[in-house]
Amino acid sequence: MKKRNSTKEFLKKFWFILWKDDSFKGWLFSVIFLIAFILLIFFPSLKLITGTNLPLAIVESCSMYHEGNLFSDTEAWYERHDSKYENYIINYLDWENFIFKNGFNKGDILFIV
């Protein structure tokens, strides 16, 4: 019974240091724990689930943005770029239904499967 209480006390202290302690020691433990969790559990799990070595990607430039916002003419944009989609047998009506018809913005995170 004493071992169970000591384990419970240790977990309470560890939890406090990890999430509630605002001292330097608490911050240091939190950062180390989060880095270890991300590197040893989160990313390997994503790799296993998706079957790819790079399950997340971040858009670092505006080169993927198609200038198709509320104030621009998406039909005119498509007419200038329709040759890119002809090879894939995609017409304007198909393109209008794309989720990302305006491209990606800088800072977007892509989940790759």
Is the CA virtual torsion 45, 49, 54, 60 positive or negative? negative
The DSSP letter of residue 58 is E
Read off the pLDDT of residues 56-105 as tens digits, 9 standing for 90 and up: 988 887 766 666 555 566 777 778 888 888 888 888 888 788 887 677 77
pLDDT average, residue stretch 24-46: 93
Domain ranges for the chain: 2-52, 62-111
Residue 29 has pLDDT above 80, yes or no: yes
- Which pTM was predicted? 0.57
Q: Within the chain, how many helices (H) and strands (E) appear? A: 5, 2
pLDDT of residue 46: 93
Give me the residues paired with residue 58 across strands.
109
Look at 61 and 21; give whichever has higher pLDDT. Answer: 21
CB burial string 34-68: b at 16+ within 10 A, e below: eeeeeeeeeeeeeeeeeeeeebeeebeeeeeeeeb
Q: How confident is the model at residue 35 (pLDDT cuts 50, 70, 90)?
A: very high
**Can you tell me the distance from the alpha carbon of 113 to that of 107, in angstroms, rounded to the nearest whole number?**
19
DSSP conformation letters of 12-29: HHHHIIIII--SHHHHHH
Q: How confident is the model at residue 45 (pLDDT cuts 50, 70, 90)?
A: very high
Calculate the average pLDDT of the chain. Answer: 83
